[in-house]
Amino acid sequence: MWARIAKLRPLLLLLLLGLVADATRLPLGPRAALHHADTLWQQGHYYAALQIYQPIDVQAAPQAALHLGILRLQRGEYYPAERAIRAAMQVGLDPNDYHLALLYLGQALAATGRSELAHDTWALIEDCRTPSACQYRGPAYILRAEEALRHTDLIAAETQYRRSLDLPLPPGWAALAQARLALLTADYDPSAAAELLRGPIPPAQLDLPWVAPLLPTSVPWREQLELALGEAAPMRTQRLGQIYLNMGWYALAETQFRQVPPGPLQRGARIYAAYAHWLGGDRAVGQAQLEAIIAANPDDAQARMLLAMAYLANQEDQAARAQLDTVAQMTAGGPDLLVAWANWHIAQHAYPEASSMYQLAVAQAHPNQRGHYAMLGAQFHLRTTYELCPMGLPLAEIAAKARPEQPATLTLLAAYQYYCGEMDHAVMSAQQALDRGAGAEAAYYLGMALRATGQNEAGRLALIQAADREPASIWRERAEQVLGR
């Protein structure tokens, strides 16, 4: 137990010092309380900081309302964030904080579907009168580019990314803009995209810690893009299409797939072009294109599998079944077909049959792939709670044994062990997952398992850790529900 508490020492010290206590018991004035909460925020102790920000009078310290709004946005509470930020702006902020407020207000508006108003808000940052206020122009351009990307306005996105790179930026922002530009440029000028990836990243010139939470997600596709750009034209085009497809940029994906020249890759590319068209929202045309490909190539199992998925999504269950039956007759089957059948049975709410398909998929899989299919099956049982412990737990154990270094499999195992009453094992698995870089979900199950074994204080610390690790996640919400009891 003490070893686990030692790993949570920073939070334990906070509790011992009374920093998570009700803020009304802290003998601090508004300015001192603000400084105290800011320190906690900078250290990543968001749960503790929230308790102190909330009671501070906005009239006495409008900056506290701004920082509360920032924290609310981090937590995914967009409308409360907007209210807090607007309250701070109405009371009055200095130019630097006012432009920071505009940055976050635009993000809150974008997150709640008011894209045009968000762009108008970010555009106000252009009218900056002091050097400190003008520091936010570069991040504003990138946020405008990200919002344009979400609405597939690729030309506007590229323009804003390029504008941002002409300005000083905080750490991480230039790297993201350059990588995004390379990804967009690869669609029409692969050589220029490769040069962008190889080129030096402009050094960070600004220290803006309050802007860091707005930095968009990382770019795990960068290595894939580098590999794709290093290929000859047919394979490069195919791989770019796959990258765009995985990112949800369906129009760009379809364009790339349709550019694949005649040869061994073309038929597969045509299949994925039709599937990208279907995913892009024009389901009738995309489905018709897949059906036409199958009519011309009735032995194409890949096209039939994708068409079956399209039929299932359209609730055309019998049509999906017909495609899967045909694939089963054409091929020797295999784990992927069994998983497709499992999905078909799930659509019918036939959970026993779906469970059997997952069990067969694990049994038939190559030893190197068994962990993958076991995890799919375990996720099904956890999601539906069907035969959770008799059938799901053994699958989770197979997945964790096959992939002992993967935090996701250890987290899944910890969840099963918690729900199946194996609390000591759940504590061990969750801690191992955290040691390997797992997130809030593992911390949540660690906290719940510790509480279940009577280690209430250590459990509380782990639940606070869950809330702090991913403030915008459902695991923060669940942790706080328990902490509030």
* 215-219, 281-285, 408-412, range with the lowest pLDDT: 215-219
Cα–Cα distance list, 179 to 2, 103, 194 (Å): 44, 22, 10
Q: Given pLDDT bands bounded at 50, 70 and 90, which one contains residue 258?
A: very high
DSSP code at position 298: T
Angle, helix 95-111 to helix 62-74, in steps of 10 degrees: 30
Structure-block tokens of residue 364: 């038939």
Res. 23: pLDDT tops 60: no
Q: Has domain 2-214 been given CATH number 3.40.50.720? A: no
Mean pLDDT of 13-27: 46
Name which residue leads in pLDDT, 308 or 173.
173
Q: Given pLDDT bands bounded at 50, 70 and 90, which one contains residue 19?
A: very low
User: Which are the contacts of 421, defined by CB distance < 8 A and separation ≥ 6?
Assistant: none
**What is residue 27's predicted lDDT score, i.e. its pLDDT?**
58
Cα–Cα distance list, 345 to 156, 206, 332, 364, 442 (Å): 44, 55, 20, 19, 30
**What is residue 204's predicted lDDT score, i.e. its pLDDT?**
85
State how far Cα 189 lies from the chain centre. 29
Alpha helix positions (H), 393-422: 393-402, 407-419
Q: Has domain 231-331 been given CATH number 3.40.50.1240? A: no
Res. 398: pLDDT tops 80: yes
| Residue range 435-464, pLDDT digits in tens | 999 999 999 999 999 999 999 999 999 999
Distance (Å, whole) CA 89 – CA 378: 49
Mean pLDDT of 300-321: 82
Q: Given pLDDT bands bounded at 50, 70 and 90, which one contains residue 152?
A: confident
Q: Given pLDDT bands bounded at 50, 70 and 90, which one contains residue 485?
A: low
Q: Are 255 and 187 in contact (CB under 8 A)?
A: yes
Q: Given pLDDT bands bounded at 50, 70 and 90, which one contains residue 307?
A: confident
Listing DSSP states for 184-220 in one string gives: HHTTT-HHHHHHHHHSPPPPP----GGGGGGSPP--T
Q: Are 240 and 228 in contact (CB under 8 A)?
A: yes
**What is residue 13's predicted lDDT score, i.e. its pLDDT?**
45
**What is residue 22's predicted lDDT score, i.e. its pLDDT?**
46
**What is residue 263's predicted lDDT score, i.e. its pLDDT?**
86
Range with top average pLDDT, 39-53, 296-310, 313-327: 39-53
Res. 203: pLDDT tops 50: yes
Structure-block tokens of residue 187: 């669609």
Percent of the chain with pLDDT over 90: 66
| Residue range 326-382, pLDDT digits in tens | 877 777 678 888 898 888 888 888 899 899 999 999 998 999 999 999 999 999 999
Alpha-carbon dihedral angle through residues 368, 369, 370, 375, given to the nearest 10 degrees: 130
Q: Return the SS3 of 201.
A: coil
- The chain-wide mean pLDDT, for the chain, equals 90
**What is residue 24's predicted lDDT score, i.e. its pLDDT?**
41
Residue given tokens 């990200």 in the structure block: 146
Do 231-331 and 2-214 have the same topology in CATH? yes
| Residue range 214-257, pLDDT digits in tens | 998 767 788 889 999 988 888 999 999 999 998 888 988 999 99
| Residue range 94-116, pLDDT digits in tens | 999 999 999 999 999 999 999 99
Cα–Cα distance list, 85 to 39, 89, 90, 299 (Å): 20, 6, 9, 60
Cα–Cα distance list, 146 to 102, 177, 265 (Å): 16, 9, 32
User: Which are the contacts of 397, defined by CB distance < 8 A and separation ≥ 6?
Assistant: 413, 416
The continuous run of DSSP H or E covering 214 comes out as: none
Report the chain's C-alpha Rg in angstroms: 26
Alpha-carbon dihedral angle through residues 121, 126, 128, 132, given to the nearest 10 degrees: 90
- pTM comes to 0.85
Res. 17: pLDDT tops 60: no
Res. 188: pLDDT tops 80: yes
**What is residue 282's predicted lDDT score, i.e. its pLDDT?**
83
Domain ranges of the chain: 2-214, 231-331
Name which residue leads in pLDDT, 266 or 25.
266
Q: Given pLDDT bands bounded at 50, 70 and 90, which one contains residue 43?
A: very high
Taken in order 112, 116, 120, 123, the sign of the CA dihedral is positive
Distance (Å, whole) CA 255 – CA 264: 18
From 273, 267, 263, 256, select the one nearest 300 (Cα to Cα): 267
User: Which are the contacts of 373, defined by CB distance < 8 A and separation ≥ 6?
Assistant: 335, 339, 358, 361, 362, 365
Listing DSSP states for 44-102 in one string gives: T-HHHHHHHHTTS-TTT-HHHHHHHHHHHHHTT-HHHHHHHHHHHHHH---HHHHHHHH
Mean pLDDT of 25-29: 64
* 163-172, 186-195, 314-323, range with the lowest pLDDT: 314-323
